[in-house]
């Protein structure tokens, strides 16, 4: 315990110094303490190096704890061969630690009445340490439980996903630490988005703000609903909540983090929160909604779909829980509800979640890359990747870019040829009626592929100019012979001129 405390104070002073520096750096010296307190998380957020140090301290502390408990035997190889006595040791150690923590929390609670000003800041630091301790306890708890299952060994050797989750958890409980945890461990979450989001809601209390942030992130990453399958939470290591169908479909946007009940307005949620205990009745308490749960290690909450037989339903053999209430909502609507929102552009695609419709409408019509299998792609390279992957698939050619129709409509042709005949008779020497006839024929030809081989064509052509006496052309026979090959008389000689 002493060792623990000294360690704690050590890290605390260090971080405190860091924060002091931050405070000094802040340009306005007259800023209230409260202001500083609110400010620091964001400063921290902007300074990844310090974040790193904070985080690394947490991690090293976990390591130290493991070292100081020899029964734990920090390696993973030991966990592989499980025996009961070792487990017992682990559990007793954990129990001790929980007690220690309990005492610290009690101490803080007793100090709480007197703490103001700078003490308040110290308090935050202490809370951080408590949560990190809690984290380590949960890690150990899970790891010792995991040693029971050989299949879970892999996740133990690679603890990073666990830490990641825990840091998320930490984020919910303690605002200042959460920033660091997310930013360093979860780089895929858009930091800029978070920043802007938080700056918008700067006036709110830290806690609410972070909750908001979380919702936003969940909304952004709504596809994670199916992507969280790999989290490998052990059955029983989390609490399963199942909301009723009516509740899921209610148009709520604010959810109670304790019981999961949804509300239309944040104010209503606050009213509701009061029912969870007296501590929610003050503004200060509102900033720490998880205080109650800190006294005992809180179970991770996961959600179940109320639809029987669904893989997301807790009674399913291969149950895969849903991470958040929003996931539940989206999942339920997508899989078990009618698709009521139709795209206003294509009038084909239907959605049950409004956000999906919006996303689709953003890209609707841009999916111009179509495969022969019917799949559409918004990007050409995606289509080509698809084609390269699947044997026999080819890109489909869209119908609308039919540049050149090979055959003009029939009535058009009729009109055209008539018009041409007319105009020609104006231009040509009116004395030769044959000439008119002949050119009309020429036109008939080009519109109708059959008539272009007609023998009339040739005769007519020379009708107008028969004053030109000339040797018999191959043409005369040829144009006959095209349709009636039998009439080909001296074919060998005449046709030989027409082939190379």
Partner 1 sequence: MSESLLCVLTEDLLIRVLHHLHSHADRKSWRLVCKHLHRVESLTRTTIRILRIEFLLSLLHKFPNIQELDLSLCPRIDDGAVRIMLTQGSPTWTRGLKRLLLSRATGLGHSGLEQLVRACPLLEAVDVSHCWSFGDREAAAISCGTGLREVNMDKCLGLTDIGLARIAVGCSRLQSLSLKWCFEISDLAVDLLCKKCLHLKFLDVSYLKLLIWFSVLTHHPIPLIFGLMFIFCCFTTPERVEITSESLQSIASLLNLEVLVMVGCSLVDDAGLRYLENGCPLLKAIDVSRCNCISSSGLISLVSGHQDLVQIGAGYCLSELSAPLVHCLKNLKQLSVIRIDGVRVSDFILQTIGKNCKSIVELGLSKCVGVTNMGIMQLVSGCDSLKILDLTCCRSITDAAISTIADSCPDLVCLRLESCDMVTENCIYHLGSSCLLLEELDLTDCSGINDTALKYLSGCSELLRLKLGLCTNISDIGLSHIAYSCPKIAELDLYRCVYIGDDGLAALASGCRKLMKLNVSYCNRITDKGMEYLSHLSELSELEMRGLSNVTSIGIKAVALSCKRLADLDLKHCEKIDDSGFWALAFYSQNLRQINLSNCNVSDVVLCLLMGNLKRLQDAKLVHLFKVTVKGVELALRACCGRIKKVKLQSSLRFLISLEILETLQARGCKVRWD
The only residue of 67, 226, 340, 465 in contact with partner 1, by rule CB under 8 A: 465
Query: Among 400, 449, 466, 472, which residue sits at the site for partner 1 (rule: CB under 8 A)?
Result: 449
Considering the rule CB under 8 A, would residue 495 count as an interface residue with partner 1? yes
- Report how many residues bind partner 1 under the rule CB under 8 A: 60
CB within 8 Å of 253: residues ≥ 6 apart: 262, 263, 264
Question: Which residues touch 145 (CB under 8 Å, ≥6 apart)?
Answer: 234, 237
Question: DSSP for 467-480?
Answer: TS--PPPHHHHHHH
Q: Give the one residue of 192, 283, 284, 493 binding partner 1; rule: CB under 8 A.
A: 493
The answer to whether the CB of 101 falls within 8 A of the CB of 94 is no
Q: Which of 157, 342, 429, 430 touches partner 1 by CB under 8 A?
A: 429
Q: How far is the CB of 439 from partner 1 (least distance, A)?
A: 6
CB of 453 to partner 1, least distance (A): 6
Among 75, 115, 223, 473, binds partner 1 (CB under 8 A): 473
Q: How many CB atoms lie within 10 A of CB 366?
A: 12
CB of 93 to partner 1, least distance (A): 55
Q: Is 264 helix (H, G, I), strand (E, B) or coil?
A: coil
Interhelix angle 2-25/33-46, rounded to 10 degrees, is: 90
Query: Apex CA 186: angle with CA 180 and CA 188, to 5°?
Result: 130
Residues 389-428 touching partner 1, rule: CB under 8 A, are 392-395, 397, 402-408, 416, 419-420, 423-424, 426-428
Q: Are strands 238-242 and 300-304 parallel, antiparallel or unpaired?
A: parallel
Give φ, ψ of 23 to 5 degrees. -60, -45
Q: Which residue in 291, 442, 456, 463 binds partner 1 (CB under 8 A)?
A: 442
Span from 111-119, 177-185, 233-241, 486-494 in contact with partner 1 (CB under 8 A): 486-494
- Residues with Cβ within 8 Å of residue 341, at least 6 apart in sequence: 350, 351, 352, 353, 354, 356, 357
Distance from C-alpha of 166 to C-alpha of 168, rounded to nearest angstrom: 5
String of contacts with partner 1 for each residue 155-194, x by CB under 8 A: ----------------------------------------
Chain residues that interact with partner 1, rule: CB under 8 A: 380-381, 384, 387-388, 392-395, 397, 402-408, 416, 419-420, 423-424, 426-429, 438-439, 442-443, 445-446, 448-450, 452-453, 461, 465, 468, 470, 473-475, 478-479, 481-483, 485, 488, 491-493, 495-500
């Amino acid at each position: 315990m002493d060792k623990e405390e000294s360690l704690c104070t050590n890290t605390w002073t260090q971080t405190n110094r860091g924060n002091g520096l931050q405070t000094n750096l802040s340009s306005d010296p007259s800023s209230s303490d409260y202001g500083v307190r609110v400010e620091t998380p964001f400063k921290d957020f902007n300074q990844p190096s310090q974040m790193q140090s904070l985080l690394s301290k947490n991690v090293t502390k976990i390591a130290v704890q493991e070292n100081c408990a020899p029964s734990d035997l920090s390696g993973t190889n030991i966990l592989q061969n499980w025996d009961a006595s070792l487990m017992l040791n682990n559990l007793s150690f954990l129990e001790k630690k929980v007690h220690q923590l309990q005492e610290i929390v009690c101490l803080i609670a007793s100090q709480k009445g007197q703490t103001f000003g700078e003490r308040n800041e110290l308090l935050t630091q202490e809370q951080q340490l408590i949560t990190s301790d809690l984290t380590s306890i949960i890690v150990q708890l899970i790891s010792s439980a995991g040693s029971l299952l050989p299949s879970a060994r892999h996740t133990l050797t690679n603890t990073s996903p666990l830490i990641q989750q825990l840091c998320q958890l930490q984020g919910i409980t303690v605002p200042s630490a959460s920033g660091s945890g997310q930013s360093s461990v979860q780089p895929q979450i858009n930091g800029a988005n978070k920043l802007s989001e938080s700056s918008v809601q700067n006036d709110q209390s830290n806690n609410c703000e972070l909750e908001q942030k979380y919702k936003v992130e969940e909304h952004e990453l709504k596809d994670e609903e199916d992507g969280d399958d790999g989290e490998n939470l052990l059955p029983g290591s989390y609490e399963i909540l199942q909301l009723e169908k009516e509740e899921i479909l209610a148009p709520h946007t604010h959810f109670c983090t304790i019981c999961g009940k949804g509300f239309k307005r944040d104010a209503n949620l606050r009213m509701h929160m009061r029912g969870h205990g007296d501590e929610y009745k003050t503004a200060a308490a509102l900033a720490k909604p998880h205080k109650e749960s800190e006294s005992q290690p809180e179970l991770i909450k996961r959600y179940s779909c109320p639809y029987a037989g669904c893989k997301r339903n807790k009674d399913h053999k291969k149950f895969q829980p849903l991470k958040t209430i929003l996931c539940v909502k989206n999942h339920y609507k997508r899989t078990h509800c009618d698709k009521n929102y139709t795209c206003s552009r294509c009038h084909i695609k239907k959605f049950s979640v409004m956000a999906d419709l919006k996303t689709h409408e953003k890209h609707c019509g841009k999916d111009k890359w179509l495969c022969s299998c019917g799949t559409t792609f918004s990007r050409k390279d995606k289509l080509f990747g698809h084609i390269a992957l699947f044997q026999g698939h080819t890109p489909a050619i869209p119908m609308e870019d039919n540049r050149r129709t090979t055959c003009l409509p029939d009535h058009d042709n009729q009109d055209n040829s008539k018009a041409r005949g007319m105009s020609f008779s104006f231009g040509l020497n009116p004395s030769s009626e044959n000439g008119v006839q002949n050119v009309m024929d020429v036109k008939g030809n080009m519109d109708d592929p059959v008539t272009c081989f007609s023998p009339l064509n040739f005769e007519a052509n020379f009708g107008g100019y028969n004053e030109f006496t000339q040797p018999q052309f191959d043409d005369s026979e040829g144009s006959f012979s095209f349709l009636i090959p039998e009439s080909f008389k001296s074919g060998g000689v005449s046709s030989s001129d027409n082939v190379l």
